[in-house]
Chain A
Amino acid sequence: MEYLIGIQGPDFVLVAADNVAASSIIQMKHDYDKMFKLSEKILLLCVGEAGDTVQFAEYIQKNVQLYKMRNGYELSPTAAANFTRKNLADYLRSRTPYHVNLLLAGYDEAEGPGLFYMDYLSSLAKAPFAAHGYGAKRFILNLPSFTVRLIDKDGIHDMEKLTLSGEMARPMKATFYPAA
C-alpha cells in the first residue's frame, strides 16, 4: 500500500511519502522517491498506477517549469493545483485516463502555506491535512522508511528519513514543539 501524508502548519507544510516501489509481490526498490519538485516551493506527491504516476507527474513538472521560463515568474501553488486538476479532468473521459492520486504542497508569499488533495477522479480540495493510501489488488504493508520534506518561506527542506525504529519521534518534535 503506497502512502502519502501532508500536514499544513501556520507557516509551513510537512509532507511524507513511503519509499517502496513494488510490483505485485516483489518490492523492487526500497528507496524510491515519490515527490516531484515543481518549483522552488512546490512539491507534488504522486501515487497510483505504475506508469501513470511518473508520466503524469513529469508532464506537470515540465509544464510548470515551462511557465516559469516563458513568463519569468513561478506559478503559485493554487494555480499549479488547478492546472493539475484540469489536466486530470481532461484525460478522465479520454481513452487514456490517468489513475493517480496526488498531494500538492506549496508555500506562497501572498497566501502562505497550502496543501491540496487531488483524486484520480480529478477532485480538488484545499485541506489542512490530507493523506492517500493506494488500494492495490494485493495488500502489501511493509513500509520500512518514509521520505519527509518540509516547505516554508525558505523553500524545500529534506528532513531526516523516518524509519520504523525509535528515532521516529525526534524530527516531529523539532517541527511541532520548537520550544521543547
Chain B
Amino acid sequence: MSASSAFNDEKGGSSSVGEPEYGHDPASGGIFSSDYKRHDDLKEMLDSNKDSLKLEAMKRIVAMVARGKNASDLFPAVVKNVACKNIEVKKLVYVYLVRYAEEQQDLALLSISTFQRGLKDPNQLIRASALRVLSSIRVTIIVPIMMLAIKEAASDMSPYVRKTAAHAIPKLYSLDPEQKDQLIEVIEKLLADKTTLVAGSVVMAFEEVCPERIDLIHKNYRKLCNLLIDVEEWGQVVIINMLTRYARTQFLNPNINESLLEEGGEKTFYGSEEDEDEDDEDKDKKAEVATMAKRKPYVMDPDHRLLLRNTKPLLQSRNAAVVMAVAQLYFHLAPKAEVGVIAKALVRLLRSHSEVQYVVLQNVATMTIKRRGMFEPYLKSFYIRSTDPTQIKVLKLEVLTNLANETNISTILREFQTYIKSMDKDFVAATIQAIGRCATNIGEVRDTCLNGLVQLLSNRDELVVAESVVVIKKLLQMQPEKHSDIIKHMAKLIDNIQVPMARASILWLIGEYCEHVPKISPDVLRKMAKSFTNEEDIVKLQIINLAAKLYLTNSKQTKLLTQYVLNLAKYDQNYDIRDRARFIRQLIVPTEKSGALSKYAKKLFLALKPAPVLESPFKDRDHFQLGSLSHLLNAKAGGYQELPDWPEAAPDPSVRNVEVPEWTKCSSREKRKEKKVEKPFYSDSEGESGPTESADSESDSANGSESVSGSEVSGSGSESEESEEGSESEEEEEEEDEEKDKKKKKKELKKKPVQESESEQSSEEEEEERKHERKSKPRKSDSETESGDEEESESESSQSESDESESEAEVKKKKKAAQSKPPAKPVKTDGKKEKKEMSLLDLDDFEPAPSPQVTPVNSFLSSSLVTDLEGLSLSDSVLSPATIAPSSALKSYELLHRITGEGLSVEYCFSRQPFSPDANMVAVQIQFTNNATSDTKNLHMEDVKLQSGMRVKEFPEIELLPAGETTTAVMGIDFCDSTQAANFQLCTHTRKFFVSIQPPVGELMRPIFLTENEFKKEQGQLMGMNEITERLTLDVKCRNEHTIVQRVTTAANLSRVPCGSDKECRFAGRTVTSSSLVLVTVATKEEGAAQLTVNCEKMVIGTMLVKDILQALTQ
C-alpha cells in the first residue's frame, strides 16, 4: 500500500499541470473513503463532453488497473464511452472493458453493439480491434456473436483482420469448447491462407484447439515450409514446433540404416551407449522395417528434405526461440550427419541473457548425451567463469561431464581442478560429483580422479570433504580390493567429519569391505557405539548395518559391541531405527525361534552389490520434445503434445500433393526415369484437385484478394528457396535457381488451359496407377545415387511451391468450369499492363540491380501490398493465373503458321530459365494452339537434325490438344554456343511438319551476378582481341538508364552489375554451353552519344552480340 500511495502522489504531481483540482486530491493516504470520493470525480470527468477530461480520467483508471487496484465500480461510467470518437479514449476503454467484463457481464453486453458496428468499419484497424475486444470479452452469452464475427473475419480481405480472427479462435475455444467443430472449420480455411501474416497465428490456433487433427496440415505442409522464412519470428517458432511433430508422424527415421550399420560396431563409452540402446530398440521394434531397409537404402521423402532445408537458414535468426526451435527440429528429424550444424548456433546463444543460457544449456545437456561429438569442438565455450550464476555453472558442468572422453579428459580435469577452489560451495560440490562421474565413465582416469578426491579429503571445508567421501564411496565400490589403504584413510576421517551423509558413507564402506580392513573395523564400531545416541538417524542406521556385518564376519571381537548397539537402537526415538534393530537381531543372533532366514544372514548382508551407475540427470530426457517447457521441467506440462515415434512405414506421401503442374512433374520425372512411362501427368493433379478447395467457398471479392496474396506468397517462397539452395551449395548457380523458380511459376500459370482441356479425359484409373507408382518408387530406386535423390527433392520442393498457386487457380477454374475460355483473352493484356506499372513501384525489390525477368515477380509482391493497403479487391480475373502469358520481355517467334500447320499454330520463345534436366541447354518454351475444328493428338517431335555437338531434349508428348485450346511445352536445346538452327519434325497423329528453331545470340547466355570489382577484374583479362567497342547514338526514347537496361536485357539474357557511376550500365553473363564470360558496358555521354563495349572470349559471339545490342539501342 505504501508503495502504491507514493505512486499516487507522483501521478497526481505529474498530472497536476493539466488538472489543478486533482492536485489537491487528498488521496495520498490511500484511504478507502478518499478512493471512493475520487471515483466520484472520475465519474464526473467521464460524463463530461470534453475528450481531454475523459482521456485524463481513463488514464487514471488504467493506471489503477495496472497497479492491480479494483476499479470495477466505475464500469457503468466507463462503458458509456465505448463509442467515443477519440481513439485513445476508445483504446483505454477497451483495455478496461476486457479487464472487467467477466465480472460485470450484464453491463458488458451494452457495449456489444458498438463492436458489431466496428466489425463493418471500412478501416481495417478498427475492424480488427473490434474483433479483438469482442473476442476478449469473456461472456458466454455472446458466444454465437463471436462465432459469427470470427467466421466473417476469416474471409475478410485484409490479412490483418484474418490474423485477428486466427487469434480469436483460441479465445472462443477456451470460453466454450463446444464450438470446437465449427472452429476447426475456420482453422481449416485459414490454414489455406497464403499470407505470411496469418500463417503463424493460425498454426497457433491449430495447436490450441485441435493439435490432433494432423490431417489438416497435409495440404498445407509444403506451403508452410516455403512460407516459413518470411513469417514473423514468433510464428516461426510455433510452426517449426508443429512441423516437427508432423514430420515424426509422416516420414521415416532417417537414421534407421545408420543404426543398423553401427550395430555390432565397437562400443565406445557411455556417450554412445544411448545410441546403442536405441539401436536395440529399433531393432526389436522395427525388425521388419529394418530388414527391409537392409535391402533398400533409405530414401528421404522430398518433403522431409524440404522441411530441413527451409528451416536451416533460421539458425541465423536473432531470436533465440527460433534458433532453439530449429535446433530441436534438426535434433529430432535430421539424419545424424546433418545434426551438427545446430551446435554452432546453440553455442552462440550462450552469449545471450542468462535466462536464455539457462534454457539452452538444459537442452544442450540432453543433446550431449545422445550426440556428444556434435559439441566436442566447442568444449571451451562451456568453461565456467566465477561470475556465472550458480545454476548456469552447474549446467555447464553437466555439459562438460557429458563431453568428457579419453582424449579431452585431462583438459577437463585440469579445468575442474580450478573450479574446486571456487567460493561457491554448491558449485564445488557439483564439481566433485562431476569428477566422480568422469572417473566411472572413463577407466583410464579412474585412479587419477580417486587420488585427487582423496587429496580433497584433507580440505578444510567440510562440505567439500563430505561430498568427496560420498563420491569416493561410489568409486571404491567398483574395485575395492585395490584400495584398502584409502578405506583405512577414510576410517581415520570419521573422527573429524561431521556431515552425516559422509559419516554414513564411511561406515557403510567399512562394513562392506571389513575383510580388507579387519583390524580397524571393530575399533570403528567401538567408537561409534560410544557416540551412537548423538548421531543422526542416517548414521545410526549405518552403525547398525556395520555392527551386523561385523558380527557375521568377526563375531568373536564384536559380539558384545553389536549387542550393545542393538540395545541402544531398541530404545531409539525413531521407529525406523527400532524396526531395523529388531529385524537385525532376529536375523543374526541365533535363537531357538529364529527361522530359516538366519541361515542365510551372511548371504543377505554380504552379498555382492553392484556398483552404482553414475548417470546424468539428463539421461532419457529426450523423449520430451527439446526446447519445450516439459523438457525443461522433466515433467509433462499441461497441453504438451507427445512427440510421436517414427512410423514403421511411411504413410502415403501423396496426401501432401496439392495441384502438381504438369511441366515440373515431367521434367523431374524424366530426370529420374528417362521417360520410362509416357503417362498423362495431369491426371494426377486432376484427381487431387477435388479435396483441396473444400475450404474455399468465399465471395468473389475475397477470392480476388486471396489470389493476390497467393502470388505474393509464392514470390517470397522463391526467395527462401534460393537462400536455401545457396547454403546447400548445389552445383547449380543460384541465379539459375531463382529463374527456375520463377519460370516454374510462370509455366504453371500458363499451363492452366491444358489442364482444363484435359480434365474430362483423365480417368480415375490412371490416377490410381500414378499413385501406386509413386509409392513403389522408393523401393525400386535401389540403384539411384544419392545425388539423384538430392535433385529429386530439389525439384519436388520447387514444384510444391508452385502447387500452392496452382491449387488456388484450380479452385477458381472449377468455379468457372461452366464458363467458356474466351473471356480470358482480353484480360491477358490487362494483366500485362498491370505488371508494367507495378514494376515501377518496386516497393520491396529484393534484387539491387533488377533485371527485367525479376521485376514481374516483385511487382506481384508490391501489387498485393498495394491492394491490401487500399483494401480494395481486384476483380478476380485480373490476376487469374491463366491470363499471365509469357512476360512482356520475352519475344515469341513463329515455328509453324496456322495455315501451313492446317490449323495448328506453334510459337516458341526463349523463356530464359535454366533447363533443369541439363544445365547446358537453353530452354525453349513452345506454345501450341489448335485453331482447327478437330482435336489434335499425339503431338511430339521426331527426326531431329542437328549440327555436330548440338543436343536436344524433346518435350514430352502431348496426347491431346482439343480444338480451340492452347498448351505449352518446354524443350531444351544445347546450341553449342552457335546460332545454328535446330531442325526437327513436329508430328501430330496425322501430319508431320518440318520446323527449325534458330536462336538469337542473346539467348545463348545466362545471367550471372558479379560485383563491380569482379566485373572490372574480369574485364581487365578480356582485352585486345576479346574486346569490341562501338560508338553509337542512342535512340531518342532510350536516353535514360532504365530504358537502356531494359533494352539490353531484352536483347540478351544478361544481368545487371551494380555500378557506382550513373553514366555507365554494366551487364554480365556466361554462355550456356562453354560458360565463357560475356561482359557488356554501355557508357553514355552528352546528347545521346554512347559507347558500347563487349568483352567476350568467344569473338564470334561478341561480334554478333554487339550487332544485336546496337540495333536494340538505336532503334
Physical interaction between A and B: no
List chain B positions with a Cβ less than 8 A from chain A: none
List chain A positions with a Cβ less than 8 A from chain B: none
